[in-house]
Structure 1
Amino acid sequence: MRVSASLTRIIGLANVVVVTVAIIGLSLLPTGARPHAKPQAGAKPQDTVPAPTLTPVGQPPGIVATPEFARQVGANELGKVPVLMYHRLLRKRMASLDRTPDQLMKELEKLAKRGYVPITAAEFAAGDIHVPAGKFPVVLTFDDGHPSHFALDVNGNPAPDTAVAVIQDVATRYPGFRPVATFWVNKEPFGLRDHASQAAALRWLTEHGYEVANHTWGHANLRALKRKRVREQIVRLERLFKKLGAPSSTTIALPYGALPRDKKAARTGSWDGSRYDFSGVFLAGAEPSLSPYAKNFDRGAIQRIQSNGKTGECRKWCSQYWLDWLDKHPGERYVSDGDPDRISMPEELQGNIVAKRGLQVIVY
């Protein structure tokens, strides 16, 4: 899909709107009681917790694709991928970025019925896409580490109406729907303030296949900071992950979608002797992302789509619009060949693949 100058201006405006609304939404964050993930009895805060063993959850067995098979399933691994952006889940929405648990449930059910399979932002940015043949990857992302994203009940299960509980429920009822997502958090993940609870929460999520990654220490507008402060905001959160025994981040979502003035500082750098190097930097809007195999894919500025309906300013750049658009333009959508070691595409697209991906290319 070629983007016209007018559409480019619309996308730019959309990012500005997302940033503005996010600021308003953050000012409305409730400060009352928050659900907390409780550590096991007798647990004590520690400076260092053993890192969990990471195992991909629900990845389908790979197959060996052929040109004939790729043609049969309509494989197009240079197609566009929806990376959906969520913020708070509230029973009663207080800002346009908010969604209710029921709205999240309905959107995930729609994705499952249409053949979408969730992957994490880390898997997407790395091009490590394991999706059954003929199906479509989707990336579910949640910003700010809000308490409505994850909490454990008294039995150690995801609390009702949290994002994780909704995802797990949909995955149970639609077995091909992988229960994975990416949570980009700040210095108090999911509203938790003590390290024992934080460690327990991150351990549960990573052991169940979810990604928890960097959204800066204090939800900083990186555009307004000097390079040194940008790096400090990123490194301080990475040090917290290390202290909690969580894996280092391989992706970052920029607060307000704002790139720093030195764009490279968002992806790689160092502060106070600690380095970071992300495989993907994610923005705040406002169209499906290019495939990570595409020649023009910019891993330093990956587009996302705000989850919302088709009203007001969302008529042409939020999730309902774009998911319907991809249904109407199936030739533009990423369709998996089911083979993680090969990239399959129609013959007319073979000039758009990035060189030296290290994977075998199938053209039909």
Structure 2
Amino acid sequence: MRSSPHLTRIVVLANVVVVTVAVVGLLVLPRAEAPAPTPMAGRATSAPPAPAAPSPKPDLPSAELPPPVPATVEFARQVKANEAGMIPVLMYHRIVKKRRASIDRTPSQVRQEMEKLAKDDYVPITAREFVTGEINVPAGKHPVVLTFDDGHSGHFAFDAHDMPAKDTAVGIIYQVARKYPGFRPVATFWVNSRPFGLRNLDDQRHAVRWLTAHGFEVANHTWTHPSLAVLPKKKVAEQIVRMELLLKKLGLGPSETLALPFGAMPGKKSIVQSGTWDGGRFAFKGVFLAGAEPSASPFVTKFDWRAIQRIQSNGKKGECRKWCSQYWLEWLHRHPGERYTADGDPERISIPQGLRGNIRSQRRQQINAY
């Protein structure tokens, strides 16, 4: 899809609209067992039954992918691979039973959208995998990045069995992965100072370690979620470093990705890419906006890791008639040649011959053109 100055102005305006909507939306004991009966006198009794073993925890679908396959030119042509194509990075906020803001989604809406993704051969990858080019997706499939901002309790919580609660984002992802085995259960959660609404440090640590042990990414969304566009450089660094220090306490390594609160970018982009504050530091490989269109492939020259587009999860009403997930997923379905289609080989970048010039120079030795 070619860009033009007019389209660029439209996308910028759409980003402003999506950010404004986000600002408004974000403001706005076990039972005792009965005693055993007393045996009747003179009657033989059997030994009491052994206590029942605890029910095993259900197996969860694995985040592992099938082994990669070596992609030849003919194989790439056969699966219509296009690893220079666009990738949808979907953005979710609160997941609630009753929507109170336009960016809210219900569990049913999230489930329906993810089932649609699965039916259309999309395979989730994390934001970190995306920005580093680790797109190990089966041949003929399409990567999608599922991202959740602010660390709401509707994103992840444990049920009584220490498993993901069914109507949380993680619970829904696993439900869809069970129904559609090709739907890899991973996502990225960008959190603030109270991850998943948890106040206790041990509870926070338990949650994020469970997620990362199961293939999910938990990363930086700043300490208190301010608009970084209006803060001085030192305050920006403080917001990011304080969150990095908390994530370290929770057992995580340095974040490789950052989602900008409200999608608001400071005038000088470099101050959110890397920096230091009070002896702490940060350095990201991908900075994400609030977005309005699919992202370019990380392999092409137009990809800007400092300002990555996302798509708000929503229908096609009002400001979303052309900028949110329903519109864009339908558009990509109608224009299959424009979306990223994998070759199944993470070592090669398979593309139609006419797209050779679109690949970044440092990746050209990996080109497999047909």
TM-score (norm 1): 0.91
Counterpart of 1:223 in structure 2 is 229
Identity %: 64
- Per the alignment, in what secondary structure is the counterpart of residue 357 of structure 1? helix
Structure 1, unaligned runs of 5 or more: 29-55
Which shows bigger deviation, 260-269 or 88-97? Answer: 260-269
| Cα offset, 1:358, TM superposition | 7.5
Partner of 1:246, secondary structure, is coil
Matched, 1:3 2:3: yes
Task: Say which SS state the counterpart of residue 356 (structure 1) adopts.
Answer: helix
Counterpart check, 1:163 vs 2:169: yes
Q: CA RMSD in A?
A: 1.1
> Paired residues, what number?
337
Say whether 1:19 aligns with 2:25.
no
In the alignment, which residue of structure 2 is the partner of 1:344? 350
- Give the distance between the partners of 2:339 and 2:19, measured in 1 at CA: 27
Match of 1:97 among 97, 100, 103: 103
CA offsets 1:190-232 (integer angstroms, 9 cap, x no match): 1001100000000110001100000001101000001111111
- d(CA) in 1 for partners of 2:166, 2:191: 20
* Deviation string, structure 1 residues 5-28 (Cα, Å, up to 9, x no partner): 332222112211122111111212
> How far did 1:275 drift?
1.7
User: Following superposition, which runs of at least 4 residues in structure 1 exceed 6 angstroms of deviation?
Assistant: none
> Does the aligned pair in 2 maintain the 1:151–1:190 contact within 8 Å?
yes
* 3-state SS in 1 of match to 2:361: coil
Question: In structure 1, what is the Cα distance between the partners aligned to 2:359 and 2:161?
Answer: 48
User: In structure 2, what is the equivalent of residue 174 of structure 1?
Assistant: 180
**In the alignment, what sits opposite 2:245?**
239
User: Quick one: which of 116, 119, 122 aligns to 2:128?
Assistant: 122
Residue 251 of structure 1, aligned match among 247, 257, 274: 257
Query: In the aligned structure 2, how far is the partner of 1:306 from the partner of 1:119?
Result: 17
2:267, 2:291 → 1: CA distance?
A: 18
* Aligned equivalents of 1:175, 1:197: Cα separation in 2: 30
Per-residue Cα deviation, 1:122-149 (whole angstroms, up to 9, x for no partner): 0000000010000000000000001100
Q: Displacement, 1:247? A: 2.5
Asked if residue 137 in structure 1 is aligned to residue 150 in structure 2, the reply is no
Distance 2:199 2:364 in 1: 43
The answer (yes or no) to whether the contact 1:227–1:262 under 8 Å persists in 2 is: no
TM-score where L is the length of structure 2: 0.89
Aligned to 2:287: 281
Whether 2:192 is the aligned partner of 1:186: answer yes
Q: Deviations over 1:221-275 (max 9, x none)?
A: 0000011111111010000011111222100000000111220111111111222
Query: Which runs of no fewer than 5 residues in structure 2 stay unpaired?
Result: 29-61
Label 1:240 to 1:139 Cα distance change in 2 as closer, same or farther (>3 A).
same
CA distance in 2, matches of 1:175, 1:358: 33
- Establish whether residue 332 from structure 1 lines up as the match of residue 338 from structure 2: yes
- Give the equivalent residue in structure 2 for 1:319: 325
Distance 1:70 1:81 in 2: 18
Asked whether the 8 Å contact 1:199–1:246 carries over to 2, the reply is no
Q: Distance in 1 between matches of 2:83 and 2:361?
A: 15
Q: Give the letter aligned to residue 265 of structure 1.
A: I
The secondary structure found in structure 2 opposite 1:154 is coil
Q: Distance in 2 between matches of 1:92 and 1:3?
A: 38
SS at match of 1:134: coil
